[in-house]
Every structure is written in C-alpha cells, then in structure tokens.
C-alpha cells in the first residue's frame, strides 16, 4: 500500500508550488484541490455519510484528516451528530450548535483511490486555469494577438496564445486562407465569454477593426492619435476602404498611411493576403465624404436626402461601371463606410428623370390650376412642386417670378386654394362614407386625406386612434412627411377625452390637441383662411 500522498509531507507544498507556477494559478488553489482530493478519498474509506474534511498545514505540509460532529440535544444522525452530554465530557465548553472534531487515522491510497484523487486535483487545477485565462483576456477585447496554430477542426483554427487557447471560426478567416499546425497567425480578439466547456476566446481576421489595428501598428501617427481612423469597410480578402482624418494640419493623413513608396500600406496588404485597400480622407460633410469614398470614380453631382440618409450620385456615363465596381463592390463599400444609402445615376439617366419629373409637375399644375404650359413650366422652374406651395406661399414670392404680377399671383393662389378646398370636400365625403367620426377629423394635424386613410384601415373613433402608438401612426402615412412630434400630439389629442370627466363624445381641448411645433400650428391654421385643410 502507498502512503496518503506518495511523497513526504514537506514535499507536498513544493509540488503545489511547482504546479501553481507551471499553470500560472495561485498556490492556494492547488493546495485546496489537494485537500478536496484527500477528503474524497477519506469519505470513500470511512463512508460518505460522515462529514470528513482534510486540512493541509500551509507551513509544514502536515495532513490532518478530521471528522466534524455537530452538538445536538438528541442525536438523529449518528454519523454527523453528537449528544450534548457526550460532547461536554470531551469539551466542557461545548454548546448546542457547536462542531467538535475527531482526528482520523491517516489514509493510505490504493490504485483506484489515488487515480480518483488525481482526477479531482486535475479538474480543480483546470477550472482555476480557465478562470485565470478568462480574467486575463476579458479586458483585451479589441487587441491584436499572435499565436501558433495548434490544430484545425472542421475548418476552424485553434490557436495557442501561450497562456491560453483561442478559436478562429471558418467564417472569420480570409477566403482561400489555410493554416497548418505550427503556423504563426495574427488575429483580432472580438469576443471573450464563459461557456459550459470553459472560457472561449474568439479571434477574427475579417473584422473591420482588425485592419484598423494593423494600421495603428504600422503608422506611428495613428498610434499617437495624430491621425484618427474614422471608419472601415471591408470585403474580406478582396477590397477595403478606410477613412482617416488628421488632427495636425501639417500632416497628410492619406500619405502617412500609404508610407514611403507604399511601404506602410503594403505591410497591411501582405498580412491580409493581398486585399486591396483604398485610403480615403474623411470629411464631416456627407456629400464630400461620399464623393471621396467612391474613388477612383469621378462624381459630377450629389443630391442629399438627410431624413432618409440617402444620397443620389451622378457620374459621367463612362464612369458608371467604375463607380459601381465589380458585383457592386465599390458602391457597397462606400455605403458601408459613410453610413448613407447611395444611388448612382449616369448623367443621361439623371437628365431623363429630371425631364420626366418636370413634365409630371407641370401637368399637375395644368390640371389643378387650369393654366397653360408656359405658366406651369415657370412655376416648376422656380422650384414649386405642389399645389399647397402655390396656395400658401407669400404673395411677393409668386409675383416676383419673371412675367408675373400681383394680379396673376393672387389669381394663382385663389385657384390653388379652390382646388385644395374641392379636393378636401371630396376627402371629407369619403371619410363620412367610411364612418370616421367627426371628432377624429377635427383633430389638428390630421388632414382630410389622412382621415380617409384611417377609415380605410378601420380606425374610425377616438378610441381607435387613441389605441395606436406614435410609430404605428407614422407607418400609416409614410409619404405625408408627418413629424414624430406631430404624431405624438395627434395621439395625445385622441386620448384627451380619457382624462376629462366621463369624456364620452367630447372633443379634445385645444390645449391637449395643440400641434407640437409652431410649424405644425401654422400648417393647421393656414388652410382655415380659405377653406378646408390640405
């Protein structure tokens, strides 16, 4: 039979010290694992019903096997309890609830017990090592690390970082990239989390920030924050765009990133398996930034829609394929880089569309105002797009159009208001047919056309409208230009009767139903001058 440890007691602490140093974990953790292993072996020998604990002296390495007994009035569990009368014979000061200990004979490990103890120690050490690994790497998300390929599993690469293992999933590798055991690999830590099998460190070579960190390593100005990387967009393994800005007017950010004869950018390109990189100067002006992002294509015109974060770009006919790129790559990367949706048109397409819009608006004025083509064309050329604009624009703006005088301007305004009033009467009749309550139609901010839409959607009473959320109301009128504040005011006006007495059939008070902004108030009040609201 072997001794309880197989080694001398003094050497026990030396073993614990060596294991702790090798695994980079506290010595106390290893000693506690040894105690647990001895405790398990002792319970196996004396019976699991006993409360047996093992203690190792931290100074001498001496092992004590102790059985704990709880002092009680009447013994129900002889294996873990002792009567007060018996306990006081051994320890006169013992009281109910105290624990007394009995030393047990040293245990001798057989082969099976020794193997079990070894498994306990190995598992505890492994758990401690995993916890240490998690604590070390959890705050290193966003760093680039280097390691050796340990093995590959179903396309995934396991990387030995020296003090832990990390995983590079197949989709986080560059296309056509392969590694073999022993290869050195650099990657970006994008996540560290606990899982059932232990902490997992996830690496990526396709993450946009991997490229940004590589540039920070190659360009001292980025590392020292003189140059800032504002955005990165990648098509991993194929092409990328990176936007930079310099906080020092004497330093060219693009030139600094390219380096002498392209040395700096080529170092990054080499790490990314030949991925082509466009370095672009960032601009706070969206139009300028998008033009830069579409390089090398030339842009002749830009039209912004700030609300929809959409931008139309006009390019020469011969530049269309270059602006779009192979399989749409160039415009897709430019859109990712800028955060704007980009629609590319050729000069011919843009000219054709403008002509169609011009004729469509002119025809709308001809039909609504009963004017000839010349007057309709003049209105469109001056920027008027809707009948509402003609109806409520200041008189001097209309009369200031070349060829117009005050009489013509006033006549156009009256015709426009008459058209709107007639249209609104039609909407109001349709609204009544649909059964939409007058109280709903009276809410400021709701036009007759919007009341018809509500009726078509089955929203006919104040309660029906009040049950909606603001975003649901906005979704009903995607093209009405309804501001979120106005939608909130409409909903609150519909709910006002809930808070005013019984509220049945009451119309919301002007204070509760007031439009959210002065502009909304003006839009609500203006139609009252000449007829129903637009």
Question: Any idea where the domains of the chain sit in the sequence?
Answer: 9-132, 138-204, 283-385, 418-529
Q: Which CATH architecture has domain 283-385?
A: 2-Layer Sandwich (3.30)
Closest CA to 272 of 206, 203, 191: 206
Task: Write phi, then psi, for 201 (nearest 5 degrees).
Answer: -105, 120
pLDDT at 527: 40
Q: What is the DSSP string of 427-447?
A: HHHHHHHHT--HHHHTSTT--
Whether the CA torsion 377, 380, 382, 386 is positive or negative: it is positive
Topology of domain 138-204, CATH: OB fold (Dihydrolipoamide Acetyltransferase, E2P) (2.40.50)
Span between the terminal Cα atoms of the chain, in Å: 101
Q: Is 502 helix (H, G, I), strand (E, B) or coil?
A: coil
Q: Do domains 9-132 and 138-204 have the same CATH topology?
A: no
Cα 233 from Cα 83, distance rounded (Å)? 76
pLDDT score recorded for residue 95: 83
pLDDT at 108: 64
Profile the chain (534 residues) by mean pLDDT over runs of 10 residues: 44 72 73 77 78 79 80 82 80 82 71 59 72 80 91 89 86 89 92 79 93 92 93 92 93 92 92 91 92 88 85 88 89 92 86 84 83 83 81 80 80 84 86 87 86 87 87 81 84 84 47 42 40 34
Determine the 3-state secondary structure of 251 from DSSP.
coil
pLDDT in the model for residue 529: 39
pLDDT at 266: 93
> What is the bridge-based pairing of β-strands 81-83 and 63-72?
parallel
9-132: CATH number: 3.30.1480.10
What's the CA angle centered on 195, arms 193 and 200, to 5 degrees?
A: 50
CA atoms of 164 and 167, how far apart (whole Å): 10
Which residues are CB-neighbours of 228 under 8 A, at least 6 positions away?
222, 244, 245, 246, 247
**pLDDT for position 413:** 83
The confidence score (pLDDT) of residue 396 equals 79
């Amino acid at each position: 039979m072997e001794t309880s440890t197989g080694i001398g007691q003094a050497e026990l602490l030396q073993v614990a010290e060596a294991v702790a140093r090798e695994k980079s974990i506290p010595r106390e953790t290893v000693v506690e694992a040894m105690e647990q292993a001895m405790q398990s072996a002792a319970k196996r020998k004396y019976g699991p019903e006993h409360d047996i604990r093992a203690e190792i002296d931290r100074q001498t390495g001496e092992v004590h096997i102790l059985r704990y007994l709880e002092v009680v009035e009447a013994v129900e569990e002889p294996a873990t309890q002792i009567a007060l009368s018996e306990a006081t014979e051994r320890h006169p000061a013992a009281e109910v609830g105290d624990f007394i200990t009995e030393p047990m004979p040293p245990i001798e490990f057989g082969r099976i017990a020794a193997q079990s103890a070894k498994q306990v120690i190995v598992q505890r050490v492994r758990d401690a090592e995993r916890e240490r690994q998690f604590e070390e790497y959890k705050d290193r998300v966003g760093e680039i690390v280097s390691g050796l390929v340990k093995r590959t599993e179903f396309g995934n690469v396991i990387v030995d970082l020296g003090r832990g293992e990390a995983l590079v999933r197949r989709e986080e590798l560059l296309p056509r990239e392969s590694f073999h055991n022993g290869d050195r690999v650099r990657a970006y830590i994008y996540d560290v989390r606990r899982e059932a099998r232990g902490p997992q460190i996830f690496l990526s070579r396709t993450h946009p920030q991997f490229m940004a960190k590589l540039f920070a390593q190659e360009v001292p100005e980025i590392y020292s924050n003189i140059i800032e990387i504002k955005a990165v967009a990648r098509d991993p393994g194929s092409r990328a765009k990176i936007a930079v800005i310099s906080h020092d007017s004497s330093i060219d950010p693009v030139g600094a990133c390219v380096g002498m004869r392209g040395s700096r950018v080529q170092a990054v390109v080499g790490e990314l398996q030949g991925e082509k990189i466009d370095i672009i100067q960032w601009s706070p002006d969206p139009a300028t930034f998008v033009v830069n992002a579409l390089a090398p294509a030339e842009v002749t015109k830009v039209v912004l829609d700030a609300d929809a974060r959409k931008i139309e770009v006009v390019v020469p006919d011969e530049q269309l394929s270059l602006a779009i790129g192979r399989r749409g790559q160039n415009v897709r990367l430019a859109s990712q880089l800028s955060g704007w949706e980009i629609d590319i048109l050729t000069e011919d397409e843009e000219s054709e569309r403008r002509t169609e819009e011009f004729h469509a608006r002119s025809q709308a004025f001809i039909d609504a105002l009963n004017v000839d083509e010349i007057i309709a064309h003049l209105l469109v050329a001056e920027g008027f797009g809707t009948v509402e604009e003609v109806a409520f624009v200041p008189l001097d703006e209309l009369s200031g159009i070349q060829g117009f005088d005050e009489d013509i301007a006033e006549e156009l305004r009256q015709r426009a208001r008459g058209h709107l009033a007639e249209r609104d009467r039609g909407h109001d009749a349709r609204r009544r047919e649909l059964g939409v309550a007058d109280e709903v139609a009276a809410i400021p901010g709701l036009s007759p056309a919007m009341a018809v839409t509500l009726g078509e959607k089955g929203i006919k009473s104040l309660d029906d409208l009040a049950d909606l959320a603001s975003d649901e109301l906005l979704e009903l009128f995607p093209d009405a230009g309804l501001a979120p504040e106005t939608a909130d005011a409409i909903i609150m006006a519909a709910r006002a009767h809930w808070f005013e007495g019984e509220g049945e059939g009451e119309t919301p008070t002007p204070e509760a139903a007031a439009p959210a902004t002065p502009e909304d108030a003006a839009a609500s009040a203006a139609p009252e001058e000449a007829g129903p609201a637009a």
